[in-house]
Amino acid sequence: MDDIARYLHQDPLAVRCANFFAEVPGDGRDHTHYGAEVRDFVLGPLVAQLVDSSDYHRRRAAVAKFNGTHQVIKRGIALTPVMFGISFNAVQFNQAGAAVYVYQDGSVAVTHGGTEMGQGLYTKMRQVAATELGVPLDRVRLLPTDTSRVANTSATAASSGTDLNGMAVHNACAKIRARLAQLAAHLSQTAAEQVVFADGWVTAANGQNWSFNDLVKQAYLARIQLWDSGFYLTPEIHYDGAQHLGRPFFYYAYGAAVSEVAIDTLTGESRVLGVDILHDVGRSMNPAIDIGQIEGGFVQGMGWLTSEELFWCQKGDRAGQLMTHAPSTYKIPTAYDVPAHWQVALFDNQNMADTIYRSKAVGEPPFMLAISVFSAIRQAVQAAAGEDQIVNLAAPATPEAILKAITESQGRYSNSASGGGGAVVA
């Protein structure tokens, strides 16, 4: 896309936007190459909002002006969008189970098939149970994930942990709540579907109410089941691996990032100066967790595309061995790599797909937003090489790769005759 834009003398963002899907299905350009209809495309308004909030056009002009007056340091800026399909491609993994237990004192315990690894899954599952039963969050506790409680669990992967397990917890809670609502309706002589669970209270249509704890106690005395299991399978998805056709994703998560970088053309060093992100998580279940996931995923992606280089020994007794195998050699980002200008916002959107509270996955999609860093570095290299030169920048864009791209584009790079790698020719 960047090369096409250079050839056409256009902003790379314009080329990217020209290749967007239609926002309304049926308007053309609404099917993927694997045959799935795109029903929820929101990148158009999302990118437009980010262009305004990040002041993209003014900053791009400022970058061009800077590059025209600085010989050694060059800057680049790029806005790249992301469209990320959510579901396991292996359809059988798109299922989850849960079990919810309500005790006589009104406390609630939840267990499900998801693994907590710092992404906030357990917190969100507690939120689901608390919301569905109308109790304070501190009344809900999580039991550790264990296949002796919930069998045949799918991997907590593909950014689907909340989608799958959240709906399973929701399903279990709905069964318990329905039985409690029937009891409340019987005691108040009203309709069960009009019973409301909220703020630790259960209220019938005629205004009669009970604390959740009291109603649970009465349910126990009446021998009403106070626990249940829940199950969920992602609907509509299917995929023919032989024909490469189907609908492998239930929905798509969208986002975009603006990254501004600077490179030193003498050393190849690069630094991210500023990042603005606007990401679509649907109706966020927990904005604090979601923003943290976006920030963490983006920084991880920065490392993937700038410093995390894999190198295998080519000669000698250790030929074929991975040399970048430890923190001393495999370089991941640190807090020092986080840019001074760092803005992350959530796009105001509701998932069109019937997910838990119309939220969207937020694990892996933000990782891809870091492509904007690589694209911005490429723009900076282009500025150093000259607009009429072809740039071939490899990822990760390490200092060595940046120097190679600059010198190669200027005709000053040649491969060593001994086959031992490249050398910069003075």
Amino acid at 78: A
Please list the alpha-helical segments (H only) found in 265-398: 287-306, 371-385
Name 66's Cβ contacts closer than 8 Å, sequence gap at least 6: 75
Within a 13 Å sphere around the CA of 290, how many CA atoms are in the beta-carbon half? 24
> From CA 165, how far away is CA 375, in angstroms rounded?
36
Instruction: Decide: 116 and 145 in contact? Cβ < 8 Å.
Output: yes
Phi, then psi, of 244 in degrees rounded to 5: 60, 45
The C-alpha angle with vertex 12 and arms to 11 and 16, in degrees rounded to 5, equals 125
User: Residue 198 forms beta bridges with which residues?
Assistant: 201
Task: State yes or no: is 364 an active-site residue.
Answer: yes
> From CA 32, how far away is CA 404, in angstroms rounded?
36
Structure tokens at 184: 């409340």
Q: Are strands 341-346 and 270-279 parallel, antiparallel or unpaired?
A: parallel
Of the candidates 419, 373, 398, 424, which has an alpha carbon nearest to the alpha carbon of residue 76? Answer: 373
The C-alpha angle with vertex 366 and arms to 146 and 305, in degrees rounded to 5, equals 110
For tokens 């840019």, what's the residue?
339
Chain-centre distance for alpha carbon 101 = 31
Of the candidates 178, 74, 21, 115, which has an alpha carbon nearest to the alpha carbon of residue 405? Answer: 74
Q: DSSP strand E in 248-384: where? A: 251-264, 270-279, 341-346
Burial 127-140 (b: 16+ CB within 10 A, else e): bbbbbbbbbeeebb
> From CA 47, how far away is CA 56, in angstroms rounded?
11
Question: Which is the catalytic residue, given 116, 364, 387, 408?
Answer: 364
Helix (H, G, I), strand (E, B) or coil at 228: strand
- From residue 146, alpha-carbon distances to 111, 112, 150 in Å are 8, 8, 6
Chain-centre distance for alpha carbon 25 = 24
- From residue 136, alpha-carbon distances to 103, 130, 132, 267, 283 in Å are 15, 6, 11, 56, 21
Residues annotated as catalytic (active site), given as ranges: 364
